[in-house]
Amino acid sequence: MAQAKVADTMSKIPQEWVLDQADLEDAKKQRRLSGPFIEKFLDKGELEVIRDDSMSLVEKVKSSQYTALQVARAYCKTAAIAHQIIMFDKAFEHARELDEYFSKHKITKGPLHGLPISLKDQFHVKGTDTTMGYVGWIKTYEGVNDPEKVHCVESQIVQELLSLGAITYCKTSVPQSLLLGETVNNLIGRTLNPVNQLLSCGGSSGGEGALQALRGSSLGVGTDIGGSVRIPAAFCGIYSIKPTHDRFSYRDVANTNPGQNTYPSSVGFLSTSIDGLKLIMTSVLSTQPWLRDPEVIGIPWRQEMADAVLERASSDGAANNRLPLKLGVYWTDGVVGLHPPISRGLRMVRDAVEKAGHKYSNGQLAFLKADGAHDIHKQLNLSGEPLIPDLEDSFQLRDPINLLKYQDLTLQGRDYSAAYSDYWNATANGEDGPVIHHS
């Protein structure tokens, strides 16, 4: 099944974009695939497109410097070289529809008109597999052969992106089960870091990080529970944000242990620019997702709050003496210490923050395994695939914890949230606010 899936993916790549064997062998010898190596397969016009950031691309489509189809082809070709899960035919069809709409009405369909957006293989798109790294999910709906749902369900956030004029064109790789800071599964193997193939691309949104490092995408959608958009962004040299959970819709999005809501996952975003993150957040919130998903908190984008933070520093980062920023520095989780180079890097950031006139505060600080890994093994048993070695120590099958224990852990989680809220507010004083939130 896995081999058939790989063959199906390759069959969707236009023949003129398929690399020959010599190029593939050359790629294996490279430490770095991003930059000059991948760029040699693109023409001048395609390079100009993929080097642009998301905001600039939207403006150039709006001003007719680019067509939506031109942008889609450049990103699809780069994604094909990066070898992700391909949806190019639908992307080209949608791009042509957007160009026709713009030609007829002389206005864009929305703030994301003509912008290709990649999706972590957790989001459902009509007509396309969602595998979440499981062999047994191929050509099913989350492992179930339900003809009313297979390839028929679409995640709410995907619908919102399409309504805003975005072009969905590829899905990116994830680790089996999502519960790993690497990206490896039995479908396509391990996704490496294109900046340095000797290093990890991170996870669980690792395919997104790798694709954006190659400039095969300028903006993508992932999810994050314990670092799943932040780790790949840090490893691959891009930007990401994990919003507070329930800020964006998780409706009809696949997940591991979907019934576990004490330690919730968030829909998050990755981009090659900070402006790209703001663009997608403001755009999606403009659709009022809380009207379609009751779990989403009904709060629109609040520009005045963003402006209030920006006013606390000048354009060169220097502090506003009246109200400087205050940032938390998190040195340890109390279990594992930092490697010396990482500690040195954090100290450099802390010192730069202080030199710019800002302040800092030293940060202080089971539910994923509560079901005894039964959900994960249920998905593995669909095809008989093995648990990947990276997960063997943590997710062997065992008895779930009992209900009373789970409820007790839930109460402990609430107590921790309250205690951390009190600590957070205690970092404020009469002259400045609390430590700036990371999301």
Strand 116-120, strand 219-224: pairing: parallel
Residue 273 to residues 213, 309, 418, 430, Cα–Cα distance (Å): 11, 19, 34, 34
Q: How far is CA 54 from each of CA 115, 193, 236, 365, 439, rounded to the nearest angstrom?
A: 7, 22, 18, 36, 20
Neighbours of 354 (CB within 10 A): 13
∠ at Cα 84 (80, 89), nearest 5°? 60
Q: Is 278 a catalytic residue?
A: no
pTM of the complete model: 0.90
Distance between CA atoms of 16 and 146, rounded to whole angstroms? 36
What is the reported pLDDT for 85? Answer: 46
* CA–CA dist 42, 215 (Å, integer): 11
pLDDT over 50 (residue 191): yes
What the block records as the tokens of 403 is 């209900």
Residue 393: which residues within 8 A CB-CB, separation 6 or more?
none
Alpha-carbon distance of 184 to 178, in angstroms, equals 9
The bridge status of strand 266-271 relative to strand 219-224 is: antiparallel
Determine which one of 109, 120, 242, 278 is catalytic.
120
Tell me: pLDDT of 109 over 90: yes
Mean pLDDT score, 14-29: 91
Helices (H), 86-194: 88-105, 156-163
Confidence of residue 438 (pLDDT cuts 50, 70, 90): very low
Which residue among 173, 204, 217, 283 is the active-site one? Answer: 204
- Say whether pLDDT at 431 is over 60: no
Mean pLDDT of 177-181: 95
Domain ranges of the chain: 2-301, 340-426
**pLDDT score, position 35:** 93
Lowest mean per-residue pLDDT among 12-16, 113-117, 350-354, 413-417: 413-417
Q: What would the two tokens of residue 160 be?
A: 């919102």
Chain mean position to CA 297:
20
At 224, is the secondary structure helix, strand, or coil?
strand
Confidence of residue 435 (pLDDT cuts 50, 70, 90): low
47 three-class SS: helix
Phi (first) and psi of residue 168, to 5 degrees: -90, 130
* Residue spans of alpha helices (H) in 286-402: 303-310, 340-355, 374-381
Indicate which residue of 54, 155, 205, 228 is catalytic.
228
Q: Measured between alpha carbons, how far is 203 from 269 in angstroms, rounded to an integer?
A: 13
Return the CATH architecture of domain 2-301. Answer: Alpha-Beta Complex (3.90)
pLDDT above 70 as % of the chain:
95
Residues 375-415: tens digit of each pLDDT: 999 999 999 999 999 999 889 999 999 989 888 888 888 88
How distant, in Å, are the alpha carbons of 140, 342, 372, 375 from that of 144? 5, 44, 22, 14
pLDDT band at 331, cuts 50/70/90? confident
Structure tokens belonging to residue 306: 């963003």
Active site residue 120: yes
Please tell me the distance from the alpha carbon of residue 117 to that of residue 222, in angstroms, as a whole number.
11
Mean pLDDT of all residues in the chain? 92
Catalytic site includes residue 11: no
Rounded Cα gap, residues 369 and 331, in angstroms: 26
Of 96-105, 192-201, 417-426, where does mean pLDDT reach its minimum? 417-426
Q: What mean pLDDT do residues 144-172 have?
A: 98
Tokens of 324: 């400087």
Q: Which residue has the higher pLDDT, 232 or 262?
A: 232
First-to-final CA distance of the chain: 39
pLDDT of residue 366: 62
User: Does residue 204 have a cis peptide bond before it, meaning omega lies within 30 degrees of 0?
Assistant: yes
Give the 3-state secondary structure of residue 269.
strand
